[in-house]
Chain A
């Protein structure tokens, strides 16, 4: 039989196997980005084409546009999803009525748990030409209807804003936890020194938030090319491909709908590699400056 320690390794086995099959095997499958992959020939039978697919990616106007769109949307989201939750957490932290605080939290966390299928349906309805924004809200301010989902620039704005709508509340959790962990005696000392609330925020609260902000920003760096597939897929349409199409949706259309497997995998590999490099570098920085460790 297994020893006392052997059983520990046996417990790990299902997880190790699942991870190998569903995470490491696809990594091996990345070699098809160097192939002219044909499903009926398989990985072993398909023709090797070297860097051709990557060359195509960086020569085609549409794929370059898609990479730029992705970078733009993802970076805007990273910034917005860092700033809004920090500000909201600071404001919420001022509230002394526990009941009120709880209620606000309950309301703003909710969209995080709804999928983009649901939220996308809501956004499209509200912003459509027949929707409440264009038929009721804008006319009351004397503004002409706006085709939010057909205009590329508006589309980008809507994507960033609605992502914040879904995620800002939930993202405040870690900041609120950090705020709750601040030693009250620091505030008492500041008060004795005659500091007002603004000075306390500036000299006690914000410095205490810096480590957690660094951690969150670090983890976010892995997402510089992650513009949110679910969201874009459920919101976009051919009219806004030029400004709103991102790597993941492009990979889906080029790979699964037009069966250009090699090309699509090459773009996917490019995305994964950039994300990997970014998060490793950010992690190095974070562990040096904020003493952050995953374990």
Chain B
């Protein structure tokens, strides 16, 4: 066997080391910033902090959470995610199901409708026309300006569609014979069978909605910003000047540790859902993408 040969065993050992180093290197920047956020201001300013907090304290976090704007933005983000995911998933499933039948002849003009959707992946109006459209629709400063434009992701819809196609015809035919219509078939058979795929896509949509910041920046007023938008402006232009600072805070806070705390808070929800995400997504994506 090739893997018993000496040169291959040497290669294998080096390979393991290289892979480990690369993966750790991917995370080190995150860990460093996390350490900064828990460290004292003096330690940060004198560059003592590498991967472990020095002068451990939570002042950066308590200071961030004491900010009313921050909590408000957090609420807006949660609302946006809930609304975005429910509407997004509903539309995605409703669109994918009929299109999954286009080959059988059950949906006349299905190919054409599919291209109607796919075309939007190939060509788009760009920033300015989108902005003017939102203005004309009077959606400025409305949650709908964040939720509706991206509600139907064509990419996710194609993943869903390709998954629906792998479901055996017999299941549908059986429910047809029982007298069920398409809506019943979709909700009673297709959706339960596809739960892992649906969960995958829902998690992707969740992450997408949580991370989105630019639409908030251009469409919403400051007091209605979602958290990502607020963080974007805070991280790129932080200020310590405006509010009164207590004595311990002077010692513990620096712009850098404060910014580090904000970075970590922004990443936290993603880090929390990530284990669930990655349990599903490889299966979901591979089934959706490769079977096509």
Chain A residues in contact with chain B, CB under 8 A?
Answer: 4-5, 7-9, 11-12, 14-16, 18-19, 21-30, 32, 39, 43, 88, 91-92, 94-96, 100, 103-111, 113-115, 117-118, 120-126, 130, 132, 135-136, 165, 169, 173-174, 177-178, 181, 191, 195-197, 200, 222, 229-230, 233-234, 248, 251-252, 255-256, 261, 264-265, 268-269, 271-273, 275-276, 279-280, 293-295
Contacts and interface: CB of A to CB of B under 8 A. Distances in A.
B218 interface: yes
B135 to A, nearest CB: 7
B181 A117 contact: no
Contacts of B124: 23, 26-27, 272
B8 A264 contact: no
B127 A251 contact: yes
A54 to B, nearest CB: 14
B107 to A, nearest CB: 6
24 contacts: A7-B181, A8-B101, A8-B107, A8-B182, A9-B98, A14-B90, A14-B91, A21-B133, A21-B137, A24-B120, A25-B133, A26-B129, A92-B19, A113-B274, A115-B211, A117-B213, A122-B32, A130-B47, A132-B32, A234-B232, A268-B128, A269-B126, A273-B123, A294-B118
B1 A272 contact: no
Contact of B26 (A111, A124, A177, A276): A111
Interface string B23-43: 110110110110010000000
Given A268-B126, A294-B158, A173 B236 contact: no
A16 B50 contact: no
B272 to A, nearest CB: 11
Interface stretch (B59-67, B245-253, B259-267): B259-267
Interface string B53-94: 000000000000000000000000000000000000011101
Q: Quick one: which of B12, B133, B186 has the most chain A CB within 10 A? A: B133
The interface residues of chain A, by DSSP majority, are classed as helix
A91 B2 contact: no
A135 B47 CA distance: 7
Contact of A18 (B3, B8, B91, B127): B91
A122 B19 contact: no
A27 B123 contact: yes
Given A12-B99, A197-B3, A248-B127, A106 B278 contact: yes
Contacts of B262: 121
B267 A125 contact: no
A88 B182 CA distance: 44
A14 B270 contact: no
Interface residues of B, number: 101
B263 A118 contact: yes
Nearest to A229: B214
A26 B22 contact: no
Interface in B113-169: 113-114, 116-118, 120, 122-133, 135, 137, 148-152, 154, 157-158
A94 B102 CA distance: 41
A222 B101 contact: no
Contacts of B32: 122, 126, 132
A173 B159 CA distance: 15
Nearest to B203: A113
**B20, B122, B231, B292, most chain A CB atoms within 10 A:** B122
Contacts of B277: 113
B26 A115 contact: no
Could you say which of A96, A132, A195, A279 has the most chain B C-beta atoms within 10 Å of its C-beta?
A132
A239 to B, nearest CB: 14
Contacts of B186: 11
Contacts of B213: 115, 117
Given A27-B124, A132-B32, A121 B259 contact: yes
Contact of A11 (B8, B23, B111, B182): B182
A197 B36 CA distance: 45
B46 to A, nearest CB: 9
A293 B270 CA distance: 33
Given A12-B99, A27-B129, A104-B23, A117 B123 contact: no
Given A136-B50, A173-B286, A251-B126, A12 B94 contact: yes
A294 B119 CA distance: 12
A59 B257 CA distance: 46
B278 A14 contact: no
A29 B18 contact: no
Given A16-B113, A121-B235, 15 more contacts: A15-B117, A19-B117, A27-B124, A27-B125, A39-B135, A104-B20, A107-B23, A111-B26, A117-B213, A122-B32, A125-B36, A132-B47, A252-B127, A256-B127, A256-B218
B185 to A, nearest CB: 10
B194 interface: no
Interface string B218-230: 1000000000100
Contacts of B150: 22
